[in-house]
Structure 1
């Protein structure tokens, strides 16, 4: 098979101009000479696999591979699989390129085997969930089935995201995002829905027969605006939502209904924070959540959640993990575009900073954490209190967490000031039942796949040792 020659001189020059780099500075980053870089920029020489790897590593958000090219997709998937911490000695870009080009069938089988390994780990989490909650056979409840559908979809739904972005751009005018007036006018005039704000037992109440919408006025302004966007999405994008639900092949009727609600929420976020503009602004402010909240008039949680959905092919954002944790430590929302996987619900590692954040509202905490596979993450967590609007209804208290692998730390403002070498990284796990660490003083349960050793004559913080 002949090697695929990649010429990208104009793209490389644009990349250098965008980052304000001289040829000498970019050449140093890529480990090549200035003359070699000049030849590449003039399309006199192609990019080698090693240089493609260096560009992807140094500019992960700018140097997007052509995801429509099968050979490039294979190389990218092989690189990701071979970079798993399971393998102590990663292969070089040249070795990966040779395998991908000369042995494509072997490369595909290796990629499939690695995917099966990852899925086996996910199955172990499902079994752990069943054991922890007495769920016979590991069967999933409707909300769990929907949660897993979003996870398996990468938390990105292309047809819905693009339709919502187009609608949001239509309504926003000269602003970054549609304001309340624009949403209200479209709901009333274009969708023929009457709208009132009133003290109400629920957050939103819609009568489809009468075309009447009631929104609880006691909610914070960002929440009221989100409820408007939800109803707008559920009505204006009904056909797109139905198409996705029909293709999801969920088992229970309740699951399909929950997915419809979840998709309307997803589209509401995409209307208020249109993909391209939100991604550009997020990069410009280095993913400073407070500044994104001001720019798009959204809540802290809404901005964090939207950042976790920026996975559009050829325009991906930083791969973040995102979750919401309540006062009891239950994970009520979760998604990870990173290698970090959460406990399926509850039982999350107590050493993770998000648990401390729940008890300290309106204060941002940061943490450098390391999982048992050796991967390090920068985490940001903030405790939030959502008022109820009434003395006899307790406010909701929870924390949200957002984080990325340290490879993307320079894009994440919350990594500033942290020592990223890992010397002071907090050793966290997924959950005690899945964590192999033998020396954790915070362990609540032994690992599901290990024996325990009990010595009646010796006692440490944990009353057993891991076999």
Structure 2
């Protein structure tokens, strides 16, 4: 007999203690949890005290916000099935009328096999779109059918891991506790640990200042550029320290990664050390709690943890611990030429699709305006809206003969999470959004004046008697 979707919960669900335990385990204040669930604080308090049941609407919000943890409260799984069906029925990227939630619910109850088939087809559609994005990314890099380059292997591996490495992250949290790190003693604590536990002395770098650091294994010295700002000095010390402290953990991760080339394994080793250094400077639990407390205000976070603006942004993109996820954000770094040099997304926005190519995205403007935060409400062709923050940064080279490094970092979340993202306060969420798109090769927008070329597979239409910003149409 063919399997059916689980029945939707119809009992009065008094599981407030589980919801309260979930909130406390994730270290989320009642007010923040209430905002994320779309209910009042008093209503949430009544649910947690079992004075009111958890309704289907609250369960749906729980599944959306905490997909793994909500299973503890709704063991039957009916709400998760309903959410998948609603997602398929309301996906704005599908060229057909949407189905409202009440009709989806009736469909699951009356035609469960048809509903399951709809969800399966939608999953297949999503996979095909992702494959198209990958092909577009391959076209951008010129790699075609060739084996991926080492940096592509490592980038894709981190993306597949959700940009979270549990064994290393937890080890970093334990070491941070053991060192009793605070804002005033980070550099001293790292230098002492390196000297006393690993026989490494920290010295000043000699030369023209082109190197940030140099480690001499024979002399057991780590030379640091004297012009480094405090946060960069702390990061480089942490990077060297974790290569000793977490050598076994990193070796196991690399062995299990299954990367094809030796160069990719070496790059992954460096990437894991960078990851561990960030986790040591910004321990998971404390950093996550602080992020929600200040509503992901990067300047307040970087001051509290004595890190750089970019380091704080990057760390937010790694908060994917099962059972204690952070705000789902995307993060990227873009250079002056529009190349994305770092990227990760825990949202539906995937950079293989965006590719840094859309000129309407605020990050490109930010590159040219250093030390100023720009915000934007943007909408992708599938209707998903994002609140984006971007800031241009300049890293001095230390010499007139070498130009400084100029780039921008961007951080954003879906509009539904605007209440937990302080940068949304500068925008009128729910109002008009900038229509950004994917790479022009796969962007379906018909009315974009910024289009560089028509999408692949389209039929070009040219009217010599009409002049527009883009000299062609397509269908």
Q: Specify the TM-score bucket, using the shorter chain as the normaliser.
A: 0.7 to 0.9
1:441 offset after TM fit, Å? 0.8
TM-score by length of 2: 0.84
Q: Determine the structure 1 residue equivalent to 2:230.
A: 221
Instruction: Sort the Cα spacing of 1:299 and 1:110 in 2 relative to 1 into closer, same or farther, 3 A.
Output: farther
Whether 1:47 and 2:58 are equivalent positions in the alignment is no
Report matched runs for 1:65-464 at 5 Å: 65-66=70-71, 72=77, 75=81, 78=84, 81-82=87-88, 84-86=91-93, 89=98, 92=101, 99=108, 114-137=122-145, 139-173=147-181, 175=182, 179-199=186-206, 200-343=209-352, 348-423=357-432, 425-464=433-472
Instruction: Specify every segment of 5 or more residues in structure 1 that has no aligned partner in the other structure, as ranges.
Output: none
Deviation digits for residues 77-116 of structure 1 (CA, Å, limit 9, x no counterpart)? 736854643465356499669959x96x998876665444
TM-score by length of 1: 0.86
1:210 offset after TM fit, Å? 4.5
Q: Mean Cα displacement is larger for which, 74-83 or 368-377?
A: 74-83
Separation in structure 2 between the aligned mates of residue 359 and residue 139 of structure 1, nearest angstrom:
35
Question: How many residues are treated as equivalent by the alignment?
Answer: 455
Whether 1:19 and 2:30 are equivalent positions in the alignment is yes
Separation in structure 2 between the aligned mates of residue 230 and residue 295 of structure 1, nearest angstrom:
20
Q: Mean Cα displacement is larger for which, 89-98 or 197-206?
A: 89-98
Report the RMSD for the aligned CA atoms in angstroms.
3.6
Separation in structure 1 between the aligned mates of residue 271 and residue 18 of structure 2, nearest angstrom:
38
Instruction: Specify every segment of 5 or more residues in structure 2 that has no aligned partner in the other structure, as ranges.
Output: 1-5
Residue 332 of structure 1 contacts residue 345 of structure 1 at CA under 8 Å; is this kept in 2? no
Residue 177 of structure 1 contacts residue 272 of structure 1 at CA under 8 Å; is this kept in 2? no
Separation in structure 1 between the aligned mates of residue 93 and residue 335 of structure 2, nearest angstrom:
33
Residue 18 of structure 2 contacts residue 73 of structure 2 at CA under 8 Å; is this kept in 1? no
Instruction: Sort the Cα spacing of 1:442 and 1:45 in 2 relative to 1 into closer, same or farther, 3 A.
Output: closer
Deviation digits for residues 219-264 of structure 1 (CA, Å, limit 9, x no counterpart)? 2221111111111112210111111111111111111111111111
Residue 78 of structure 1 contacts residue 96 of structure 1 at CA under 8 Å; is this kept in 2? no
Q: Mean Cα displacement is larger for which, 400-409 or 427-436?
A: 427-436
Separation in structure 2 between the aligned mates of residue 76 and residue 254 of structure 1, nearest angstrom:
45
Separation in structure 2 between the aligned mates of residue 110 and residue 334 of structure 1, nearest angstrom:
32
Residue 393 of structure 2 contacts residue 407 of structure 2 at CA under 8 Å; is this kept in 1? yes
Deviation digits for residues 392-416 of structure 1 (CA, Å, limit 9, x no counterpart)? 2211000000000010001011000
Residue 282 of structure 1 contacts residue 288 of structure 1 at CA under 8 Å; is this kept in 2? yes
Q: Mean Cα displacement is larger for which, 71-80 or 186-195?
A: 71-80
Separation in structure 2 between the aligned mates of residue 459 and residue 74 of structure 1, nearest angstrom:
50
Residue 75 of structure 1 contacts residue 97 of structure 1 at CA under 8 Å; is this kept in 2? no
